[in-house]
Structure 1
Amino acid sequence: MRTARKLAPAGIAAVLALTIAPAATPAATAQTPGTAAPSAAVSETGWALRVPAQDRAYLRAAHRGHLAEIAAAKAALRESRDRDVRGIAWRLIRDHRRLDARLREVADRFDVRLPTSPSAAQRDDLRAVVARSGPRFDRAWLRLQADAHEHALWLGQRELRRGHSARVKDLARDSAPVIRHHLREIRAEL
């Protein structure tokens, strides 16, 4: 009886240690040469605990793209007097906010830290466009948007080819028709 009393706390501690221990150790998840790239470890809820570097890079770049598109669209609403350019700007704000909301949800689940602003190059490009006025602004803004949307399509295609996470690839796949539609509208105005 005394032995059982002494072993009971040790047994409870062992059970707790097994249930609290991390799902996988770094050594257990290391990739051996010649094997496929590691996929994300999955939690009980089905969401990945970690996401591979390609997927993290896509989430960050796509988020920056959305931020840049929203900032550029707001600039067009301030600066442009062209009704069609302003219409495109309103649609960009609406659609990129929606796309970014989905992206942020996935990034939060994967615990991926997202940038808080567009890149320095994106900000510089927008500053150069805003320095113009009238029809010159509109033309430069449309060119900037065409380039940005072509880059966004390229990012999505790269994610679909190289990405590992099904959830992140779904984001890239689902955003492509919206981005293509924007690109068609932009090119029609150029």
Structure 2
Amino acid sequence: MGRVNGTALIIAALVVTVGALAFPVWSYADRSGTGEANLNAGSVSTRWGPLSATDRDFLVKVRLAGLWEIPAGQQAVERAPTKAVKDAGDHLIVGHTDLDQRVRGVASQLGVELPNQPNDQQQGWLRELTEATGETYQRKFANLLRVAHGKVFSLVAQVRHTTRNSLVRQLATDANQTVLDHITMLEGTGFVDYDGIANDAAGSATASPTGPPPPGGGAPSQPDPAGPTGDVSGTSRPSPAPPGAVNTDRPEPQM
């Protein structure tokens, strides 16, 4: 009897141990603090699909962008001594006026409250531009706006990739075209400091870059062209716009 009881205790101990090890795996998807749990906790249901906290943050940032970039663009049109900067300012005004109409319509349908003033940092940028003159003004304009657009570009891509809400997805598509157009125009001024942008980005990077080794001085072998095999007749055509041009034609916003 003693031997039987000892065996039973060993078996019971093994069952408890296996259960303790397996429980965290079984319950992981339901534990608070996981990515999926955080996504669901911050989301609300709408007729257009779940609206996440990231979606709502995106709507606010689109609105904030217009609140400071429209006056910045107007200032450039009125003050800039070069046509390239004036043209960039014109694109800021037109693009963000259009996006602002779209984001207000989407936010109204989704019940998201939007700000009516630029945030403190954006107001500081506007003051910097107001106080600058001549070439200093043009460089500040090009670089402040170019860095701001570069940062929001990554958010637009994230939202376009992950949102489950069809209204937010369409707004992200619209914003992507507008932001790329503005980046192109700002770079066309000739005042963008690419070294400064790259150094700032490198300072906040946490992973080492990967890719081919640095060039060794000789000409690399030419890669084979990529394309379908056999005789494939495609019906679509590449964009006719020349390199550096961005097509910003979009349907009218649905209010």
* TM-score class, shorter: 0.7 to 0.9
- In the alignment, which of 27, 30, 35 is matched to residue 33 of structure 1? 30
Q: CA separation in 1, counterparts of 2:174 and 2:80? A: 30
> Deviation at 1:164?
3.1
Name the counterpart of 2:66: 66
Q: CA separation in 1, counterparts of 2:52 and 2:158? A: 14
> Deviation at 1:147?
0.9
Deviations 1:30-52 (CA, angstroms, capped at 9, x unpaired): xx82667446424xxx446x732
Q: CA separation in 2, counterparts of 1:91 and 1:180? A: 11
**Structure 2 residue 177 is the aligned partner of structure 1 residue 173:** no
Name the counterpart of 2:88: 88
Work out whether residues 74 and 89 of structure 2, in 8 Å CA contact, stay in contact via their aligned partners in 1: yes
Q: CA separation in 2, counterparts of 1:170 and 1:158? A: 13
Deviations 1:146-189 (CA, angstroms, capped at 9, x unpaired): 11211221220222344332211221122212211211121121
Q: CA separation in 1, counterparts of 2:84 and 2:188? A: 10
Highest CA radius of gyration, 1 or 2? 2
**Which deviates the most, 33-42 or 102-111?**
33-42
Work out whether residues 62 and 155 of structure 1, in 8 Å CA contact, stay in contact via their aligned partners in 2: no
RMSD of aligned alpha carbons: 2.1
Name the counterpart of 1:127: 127
TM-score for both structures, normalised by structure 2: 0.55
Counterpart code for 1:110: L
Name the counterpart of 1:106: 106
- SS of equivalent residue, structure 2 residue 113: coil
Work out whether residues 47 and 109 of structure 1, in 8 Å CA contact, stay in contact via their aligned partners in 2: no
Counterpart code for 2:71: A
Work out whether residues 70 and 93 of structure 1, in 8 Å CA contact, stay in contact via their aligned partners in 2: yes
Name the counterpart of 2:158: 158
Name the counterpart of 2:226: none
Work out whether residues 51 and 165 of structure 1, in 8 Å CA contact, stay in contact via their aligned partners in 2: yes
TM-score for both structures, normalised by structure 1: 0.73
Q: CA separation in 2, counterparts of 1:41 and 1:158? A: 20
- In the alignment, structure 2 segments of 5+ residues that lack a partner are 1-28, 192-255
Which structure has the higher relative contact order (CA within 8 Å, separation 6+)?
A: 1
Runs of 4+ in 1 over 6 A off after TM superposition: none
Q: CA separation in 2, counterparts of 1:182 and 1:61? A: 16
Name the counterpart of 2:217: none
